[in-house]
């Protein structure tokens, strides 16, 4: 079995690659989804976040106020590191458990989507790494289409390694500039899906 870690800069095509892989039956786990699961009401991580940051980061119905917390952590490095110390170990434990399950099932291929793959040294638990990337201009355009302003875009990009550094560390790079058809052809070749 080969487990790929898929990463890339924010807005560079990870989600498009993930959707394409899922549509082809490739087992995929997305750590962004795990990050949402671990902060649901009654989860220990949510209680720790409340203790670390205060009740003002919860909504009236006891859920995490993601927007308020994002505004804080993407403008304050210390707050970001405190949040990551709460969430990252839990997220890693969950994806590692899923990978162990896949290995026990002797699957041929699986993918773990980890935006902060190299930042968290997650590559040590994977067989290969794949970085999805595009030009800075395309990245800016995609993030603006999400409704983010220039300051939000700068903050989010600054919270991750530069994509050039990720590309240099990755075993494979897929360029998402040319649309889904071009990206799909690269993924097919890199992951050996045509075999």
* 18-46 pLDDT, tens digit each: 999 999 999 999 999 999 999 999 999 99
Quote the domain boundaries for residue 22.
2-191
What is the CATH number for 36?
3.40.50.300
Domain count, the chain: 1
Residue given tokens 């952590």 in the structure block: 73
Mean pLDDT over the full length of the chain: 94
- State yes or no: pLDDT of 195 exceeds 80: no
What digits encode the pLDDT tens for the residues 105-122? 999 999 999 999 999 999
In this prediction, residue 190 carries a pLDDT of 96
What digits encode the pLDDT tens for the residues 139-154? 999 999 999 999 989 9
Quote the pTM value: 0.91
């Amino acid at each position: 079995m080969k487990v790929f870690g898929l990463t890339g800069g924010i807005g560079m095509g990870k989600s498009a690659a993930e959707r394409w892989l899922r549509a082809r039956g490739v087992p995929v786990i997305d750590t962004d989804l795990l990050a949402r699961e671990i902060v649901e009401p009654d989860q220990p991580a949510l209680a720790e976040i409340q203790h670390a940051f205060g009740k003002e980061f919860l909504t009236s119905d006891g859920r995490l106020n993601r927007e308020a917390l994002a505004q804080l952590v993407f403008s304050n490095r210390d707050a970001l590191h405190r949040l990551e110390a709460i969430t990252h170990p839990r997220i890693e434990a969950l994806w590692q458990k899923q990978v162990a399950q896949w290995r026990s099932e002797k699957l041929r291929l699986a993918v773990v989507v980890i935006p902060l793959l190299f930042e968290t040294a997650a590559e040590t638990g994977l067989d290969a790494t794949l970085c999805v990337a595009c030009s800075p201009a395309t990245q800016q355009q995609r993030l603006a289409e999400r409704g983010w302003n220039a300051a939000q875009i700068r903050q989010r990009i600054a919270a991750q390694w530069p994509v050039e550094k990720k590309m240099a560390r990755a075993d494979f790079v897929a360029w998402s500039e040319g649309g889904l058809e071009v990206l799909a052809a690269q993924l097919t070749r890199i992951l050996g899906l045509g075999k």
